[in-house]
Amino acid sequence: MKLKKLMSVLLAALMVAALAACGGTPASSASSEASSGSASSESASSEASSSEAASSSDSTIADLAANQDGPSNAAGIGLPDVSNVDLEALEAEIDELAAKVTTVSDGKLTIGTSADFAPYEFHILQDGQDMIVGFDIALAQAIADELGVELEVRDISFDSILMELNSGSIDLGLAGFSPTPERLEAVDMSLLYYTGGQSLMIKKADAEKFKSFEDFGAGTSVGAQTGSIQEGLAKENTPDASLVSLQTVPSVIMDLKTGKIDGAFIETAVAVGYVATQDDLMILCDVPYDSEGSSVAVKKGNEDMLNFVNAVITKVVANGSMDQFVAEANELQAQSIS
């Protein structure tokens, strides 16, 4: 039974990979990927030639960050270049960088997330206990482990995480943050640890009515999470539809299911999870976006933390842990809805 659910999630992911765009798309469509992405599939395609600085033993993490693997997005942020990483040297570098990091409360790494976003971060009941899991949380745990401190996860509303970060109440924001040029003005953002795409979801029953962005004319409505890049995608691609912003992704999905809105702009990996289990929903198309991928948000100017986080991301992408975090999160998600 559980396996069946997992298979349907995987199948849905495959189907999405074959999805067409909705038409009338901006020039950036080439950089978007419809499939639920993975760190290693990207890194596998990196050219070995671009990695010399990263692998030489006297390289610094700052070099490493500068020498990231493509595709870097609109904000100039890409996956780490892991084509030639010396894991032993990286390990030593991580220890060195960790020694410089201070956290907002002693002996703890406090992260802010919005746990409404499976498989990135979501609640499950395990042995009757509420837990927050997901591949962002697994990455946060890896970061805390490298620091040798306990992890504290704070579930707060998505649109307040970056403020909490800059006001000094949390150390990091991990919530599937797309590194946009606008956000980079307010906070620092790590290398990408995951790449994915953006989707427009509709109800299956409306498949005849909505075939492209143009079908979302006056009198229609679309939903997105408050403070997310999906709000911008809605305005850009369906400008005539009225935009309904809601605090959580499940409430956007609920509004779609109950017909309060006609479409929902949702991160593809998240959308795939919903269509795998909710028979009344479908992904209409891939939505082009040029700041694709997920970054960890760090307080503006906290270079020690940023360098350390980038080094840990490089490690978990290079050694395959990140792919494992994603696979485990997909499995937990499939189990939690079966």
Residues that bind ligand ARG (CB under 6 A): 114, 116-117, 120-121, 158, 175-178, 225, 228-229, 249, 267
By beta-carbon proximity to ligand ARG, the closer residue of 177 and 213 is 177
Q: Which is nearer to ligand ARG, 101 or 161 (CB)?
A: 161
Tokens of 220: 């229609």
CB 201 → ligand ARG: shortest distance, Å?
14
Nearer to ligand ARG, 61 or 118 (CB): 118
Q: C-beta of 330: minimal distance to ligand ARG in Å?
A: 16
A 10 A CB-CB count for 208 gives 7
Of 22 and 253, CB closest to ligand ARG: 253
Closest CA to 16 of 210, 234, 286, 266: 286
Nearer residue to ligand ARG within complex by CB, 46 or 330: 330
Residue 283 CB, nearest distance to ligand ARG (Å)?
Answer: 16
Q: Which is nearer to ligand ARG, 115 or 261 (CB)?
A: 115
| CB-based contacts of 145, cutoff 8 Å, min separation 6 | none
Pairing of strands 116-117, 242-246: unpaired
Cβ 273 to ligand ARG shortest distance, Å:
13
C-beta of 34 vs 90, nearer to ligand ARG: 34
Least separation, in Å, of the C-beta of 80 and ligand ARG?
19
The minimum distance between CB 253 and ligand ARG, in angstroms, equals 12
Shortest distance, position 138 Cβ to ligand ARG, whole Å: 14
Q: Which of 269, 266, 248 is nearest to 327 (CA)?
A: 269
Euclidean distance between CA atoms 120 and 132, whole angstroms: 10
Omega before 71 within 30 of 0, i.e. cis = yes
Cα Rg, the chain, nearest whole Å: 19
10 Å CB burial of residue 29 (0-12, 13-18, 19+) is middle
Nearer to ligand ARG, 22 or 224 (CB): 224
Number of other CB atoms surrounding residue 224 within 10 Å: 24
Smallest distance from ligand ARG to CB 175, Å: 4
